[in-house]
Structure 1
Amino acid sequence: MNIRKWVSLFFTTLIIGGAAGLVIGYLVEWRSYTDTIFDGKILNFIVSLLTLFGTGCLFSILSQMGFFAYLTIHRIGLGMFGSASLWSKVQLVFILFIFFDLVYFRYQAFGGKHQSIFTFFILPLALLIVSLFIALWKKQETNRYAFIPTLFFMFVVTVIEWLPVLKPNDLRWIWIMGVTLVICNAYQVLILHRLIQKT
């Protein structure tokens, strides 16, 4: 990895994040945006789209910070635990712990009197399935040792980056930020080995 490749990764992820935020944000509130067009408020519509794009760019920067933080933590973990096998087991424990937290604490905070805890499994299960898919993809393109680190990054780090909207439980922003983060994180982890491979 050199400066030119890092700058390229930064701006590519920035544009991907902006585009994802724009598209998901529009889909989440397409009715209000459509009403804005029909009401003749074109300028408001354009400003709203630019705001969504800018917000997506901010989420992509958060994603990149999480990515490089994980790369550092991964190297520290390998050194601390002495072997990739033991470090992988520790990461699996963290995945299970975060999964439990995402279900139980959200249920405690937002669960209604007659609301089942099983409805709070939907969000972590969806993220886990996507994370498993990305981890299998990464494993297929590189090697089997990449599976657990990719799964950890896609699940645990995404949840940590997602916390600002998970706490208020605003469904609109959970969708916009969550999908944008997943797309940016998946792009970075899948492109990394292509950037650092020897020519």
Structure 2
Amino acid sequence: MNSRNWVRLFISTLLVGGVTTGIVGFALKWSEYKELFIAFDIIEVLSILFWLIGVGFIFSVISQMGFFAYLTVHRFGLGIFRSVPMWNLAQIVLIVFVLFDLVYFRFQLFVKDGETITPYIFLALYVLIVGGIIAYFKRMDTNKEAFIPALFFMIVITTIEWFPALRVNEQDWLLLMLIPIQVCNAYQLLMLPRFNQVKKN
């Protein structure tokens, strides 16, 4: 990818992160923010929106750092294991380990009196399902060998990028960071071949 296409990908992903965070932020706190809309308090609404977009830009940059780090890791993995099946197997093991961590270790660290493990399982399932859907589209868009790497990226790398919110373990922050990062990661994963195609054309 040449520098022009990289800048296009960077800026478009930045906008995706900002817009997504703005939408998710208002959706999560709609019970509080709807009064501002009813009162037609434009200044307050815009200030909150600009803040959310700024936070979204940060999430987008984290996502892009993770994406380009994974492209490097993927090449190293292929070189170390010297075959796609072995590297895919290693990625599957890491996927299972990360999903287990999202349930068991988070439950051990943050469980409250009377709380069950069910919400922790549901959150890990959500990450798995979204990752599976994006990996399926990536497979359909390129080839069947792309499924496992895409699933690995959407689960393992997303979880690593999501770690600051996981440490806080505050429900709104968990979703406010997770969803934009997932959207940015999916966007980069699916759009990168198109930007490379622009270069070839």
TM-score, scaled relative to structure 2: 0.95
Q: How do 1:25-174 and structure 2 match up within 5 A?
A: 25-38=25-38, 41-174=41-174
2:194: which partner in 1?
194
Aligned pairs, number: 199
2:17: which partner in 1?
17
2: CA distance between counterparts of 1:76 and 1:185?
Answer: 20
1:3: which partner in 2?
3
Q: What is the identity, as a one-letter code, of the residue corresponding to 1:160? A: I
Any gaps of 5 or more consecutive residues in structure 1? none
Kindly state the Cα deviation for residue 119 of structure 1 after the two structures are TM-superposed.
2.7
- Which has the higher mean CA deviation after the structures are superposed, 101-110 or 42-51? 42-51
Helix, strand or coil at the partner of 1:167:
helix
Q: What is the identity, as a one-letter code, of the residue corresponding to 1:118? A: T
Any gaps of 5 or more consecutive residues in structure 2? none
Q: Tell me the C-alpha RMSD between the 2 structures.
A: 1.3
2: CA distance between counterparts of 1:3 and 1:54?
Answer: 24
1: CA distance between counterparts of 2:38 and 2:66?
Answer: 40
1: CA distance between counterparts of 2:196 and 2:80?
Answer: 24
TM-score, scaled relative to structure 1: 0.96
1: CA distance between counterparts of 2:82 and 2:150?
Answer: 19
Deviations, residues 60-94 of structure 1 (Å, cap 9, x unaligned): 11000000000000001101111111110000000
- Which has the higher mean CA deviation after the structures are superposed, 66-75 or 35-44? 35-44
Q: What is the identity, as a one-letter code, of the residue corresponding to 2:11? A: F
2: CA distance between counterparts of 1:27 and 1:7?
Answer: 30
- Which has the higher mean CA deviation after the structures are superposed, 34-43 or 128-137? 34-43
2: CA distance between counterparts of 1:10 and 1:169?
Answer: 29
